[in-house]
Amino acid sequence: MLRVYRSVLTLYPAAYRRVYAEEMLAVLAEIEFDAAEQRGWSKFARRVRETSGLLAGAATEHTRQCLGYTGASIFLPGRTRMRSEFRFPKATAVLMTVVLVAVLMAIEKAKAISASIPPNSTPVGPIQPEHFSTVTTFLVILALALSAAAIGWLVTFALRRSGVQRFSAVHPGKPTV
């Protein structure tokens, strides 16, 4: 069955094969080794699933190469697609932080309103803001964390140990000494 898989891999673009063919064959060999214990329809179904996945992947890679499209594949359903990019947009963390701050501010405002209402239901005077709240504590901690991260990055950059600098020194195909 590995011969069939190997022949299906020839349908992938050459550049893609150079990078991923060995790894894909290793995974397929492992799958075949696990399938050796199976019998009948389950073994057949597994082989059909893997072969159809390879065919769909080849079609997807050719589509990407021809159109330059890097989004979702029209050939593979979402649960079988492999992607190397981030799972969420990069702005998600920022937006989630903004939502967290908004929720914390609403909680603080509710606490202030609750504390300003006396138990005997007399008319309520103006609500006094708290001088030190959870929101300001959160913002101080966030500012300290960001400044520590910036200092750490500056130190690694000054020592030429940042990821970008180390990655620029990598030369694929050259043996390392």
Based on its alpha-carbon atoms, the radius of gyration of the chain, rounded to whole angstroms, reads 28
Is residue 122 a part of any domain in this protein? no
Claim to verify: residue 107 and residue 134 sit in the same structural domain? yes
Rounded to whole angstroms, the Cα distance separating 35 from 46 reads: 8
* Shared-domain flag, residues 58 and 113: no
3-state secondary structure of 31: helix
Q: Are 73 and 7 within one domain?
A: yes
Is 61 domain-assigned? Answer: yes
Check residue 99 and give its pLDDT: 92
Whether residues 102 and 45 fall in one domain: no
First to last CA, the chain: 39
Q: Place 31 in a pLDDT band, splitting at 50, 70 and 90.
A: confident
Q: How many structural domains are present in the chain?
A: 2
35 and 96 fall within a common domain: no
Length of the chain: 177
Please answer whether residues 28 and 21 qualify as being in contact, where contact means their C-beta atoms are separated by less than 8 angstroms: no
Helices (H), 159-176: 163-168
CA dihedral 64, 66, 69, 74 (to 10 degrees): -60
Same domain, 72 and 100: no
Label residue 131 by pLDDT band (50, 70, 90).
Answer: low
CA distances for 135 relative to 103, 116, 118, 166, angstroms? 9, 19, 25, 39
Report if residue 73 sits inside a domain: yes
pLDDT of 37 strictly over 90: no
Residue-wise pLDDT for 49-82, tens only, equals: 888 888 888 888 888 887 765 555 555 555 455 5
Does any domain span residue 174? no
Assess if residue 107 is contained within a domain.
yes
Which residue range is the domain that position 113 belongs to?
92-117+128-168
Residues 104 and 136 in one domain: yes
Give, as one character, the DSSP assignment of residue 74.
Answer: S
Residues 31 and 58 in one domain: yes
Compute the distance between CA of residue 98 and CA of residue 50 in angstroms, rounded to an integer: 43
Angle at 120 between CA 114 and CA 123, to 5 degrees: 70
Do both 19 and 46 map to the same domain?
A: yes
76 and 10 part of one domain: yes
Mean pLDDT of 150-155: 87
| 101 and 52 assigned to the same domain | no
Whether 34 shows a pLDDT value over 70: the answer reads yes
Answer whether residue 173 is part of any domain: no
d(CA 58, CA 55): 5
- Comparing 3-12, 55-64, 74-83, 161-170, which segment has the lowest mean pLDDT? 74-83
What would the pLDDT profile of 88-111 be if each residue is shown by its tens digit? 676 788 888 889 988 998 998 888
Is 76 within the bounds of a domain? yes
